[in-house]
Structure 1
Amino acid sequence: MNRLKKNLKPIEGDYYLTPEGYRCFTEQYHLRRGYCCESGCRHCPYGYDKKTNQYTKK
């Protein structure tokens, strides 16, 4: 297990359900987590672009 990763339990405002029923994590959650998972998240505050595999300034 990677010791750098935090095991955070979602709190109110960390996610919402999409019309398809998936959890979509908000910028609030990503910032609490403290790192980018490089999955191309919709609300990524770190500026990661999955298509180019690069970070852009935000």
Structure 2
Amino acid sequence: MNADKNRELVEGEDFYIENGLYVFTREYLLKRGFCCQSGCRHCPYGFVKSNQQPLSEKNSK
């Protein structure tokens, strides 16, 4: 088996907690290797749910 699949997540490296929710980092999502199409905040694959504003629009306000 792949050792990365059994590795525990590291807070601050793989995720952080915001308002009681786990937020995965871009680095973790890249290591995972695929887009889950859930609209992750730091999605490195460019996926945006249809009811979300793209990150570039959020930052320009």
Give yes or no for the alignment of 1:17 onto 2:55: no
Large movers: runs of 4+ above 2 Å: 6-9
What CA RMSD, in Å, does the superposition of the two structures yield over aligned residues? 2.0
3-state SS of 1:24 partner = strand
Q: Deviations over 1:32-52 (max 9, x none)?
A: 000000000000000001117
Change in CA separation of 1:46 and 1:25 when aligned onto 2, cut-off 3 Å? same
Q: Which blocks of at least 5 consecutive residues in structure 1 are unaligned?
A: 1-5, 53-58
* Partner in structure 1 of residue 58 of structure 2: none
What TM-score do the two structures reach when normalised by structure 2?
0.64
Question: Which structure has greater helix proportion?
Answer: 2
The correspondence of residues 1-58 of structure 1 with structure 2, limited to 5 A, is: 9-12=8-11, 13-18=13-18, 20-51=19-50
- Tell me the TM-score normalized by structure 1: 0.67
Select the structure that is richer in strand: 1
Q: Percent sequence identity over matched residues?
A: 52
Return 5+ residue gaps in structure 2 as ranges.
52-61
Question: Between Structure 1 and Structure 2, whose CA radius of gyration is higher?
Answer: 2
